[in-house]
Amino acid sequence: MRRWIMDRSVAPSVYSRAVRKAAEQLGGREKLSRTLQVPLAEIEKWIADEAKPPREIFLRVVDLIIDDNGVADASAPADAPPAKDCAPGASSAWLD
């Protein structure tokens, strides 16, 4: 997805790509606008690479993308594998 401007290829910025991806995952730009509580016109500017979102908004966009991709929250406890002595078929010989 590249735009051609004056015979040069210009790749969309990471900001533009991230905002676009978050909008797609949420179901549209309007929904992203409501979620982030920013005007739709700002979302459109960020996607068009006419402006960069403020850092705190960009980090929220990244969080939305990560959360939607099913990446576990680092603060949530992960299901740890069972201890060896509790695993099915574990030998008591190792418990000395």
| Tens digit of pLDDT at every position of the chain (96 positions) | 555 445 445 688 999 999 999 999 999 999 999 999 999 999 999 999 999 999 999 999 999 999 977 554 444 445 545 555 555 555 555 554
Q: Which domain holds residue 49?
A: 3-95
Q: Measure the CA–CA gap between 53 and 46, rounded to whole angstroms.
A: 6
Torsion of CA 3, 5, 10, 15, to 10 degrees: -70
Number of domains in the chain: 1
Residue pair 29/47 in contact by the 8 Å Cβ criterion: yes
How far CA 62 is from CA of 20, 30, 42, 43, 59, in Å, comes to 11, 17, 17, 14, 5
pLDDT at 68: 77
pLDDT at 73: 47
- Quick one: which H or E segment has residue 41? helix 40-47
